[in-house]
Amino acid sequence: MTTITDVAAYILQNNGTMSTMKLEKLCFYSQAQSLSKRCVPLFDEDFQAWRNGPVSPALFNLHRHMFLIHAGELDQFLPDGTPRLTDEEKTLIDVVCGQLAAKTGNQLSERTHAEAPWRDARTGLSPADPCNRIIDKDSIARFYTANPVVR
């Protein structure tokens, strides 16, 4: 099965250097697109409702202490050095990035803050509170089916 590392490496290969925040959000929206359009997850890894929006601890652990990440920097974590994605998965990611990759990490973070999956996972917390609550895949699927990631 595809992993978040496959998705992140593919995004970097096709969109170049970006902030790690932006990469996290593009992976989140790729997952949301898959859940809402294909009714299956793109990858198994979860996102947590961190202060700056959804973050996958699995991906974060690969880019910890980095602000910018470059194409090729995640390839060492892939079994054969290249993302294992189907053509359908690549197309889905390309559609998401085609609409959202021009935005900054902060703009994508602000967008997630306005959307129910992240907000609901942080219920009862102040904006400054740390949080490791999982953003449920079912809530992602429901919200983005009704409110498409890309239009």
Of residues 36 and 75, more confidence is placed in 36
pLDDT computed for residue 83 by the predictor: 86
pLDDT in tens, 60-97: 999 999 999 999 999 889 988 888 999 999 999 999 99
Cα 51 from Cα 74, distance rounded (Å): 24
pLDDT above 70 covers a percentage of the chain that reads 100
**Distance between CA atoms of 134 and 50, rounded to whole angstroms?**
9
Identity of the amino acid at 4: I
Please tell me the total number of residues recorded for the chain in this structure: 151
Q: Which residues contact 72 (CB under 8 A, 6 or more apart)?
A: 12, 13
pTM equals 0.97
Here the tokens at position 88 are 């359908």
- Among all chains, which residue has been given the structure tokens 């859940």? 35
Q: Rounded to whole angstroms, how far apart are CA atoms 23 and 127?
A: 21
- The per-residue pLDDT for range 5-33, each reduced to its tens digit, is 999 999 999 999 999 999 999 999 999 99
Residue given tokens 């359009």 in the structure block = 37
* pLDDT mean across residues, the chain: 96
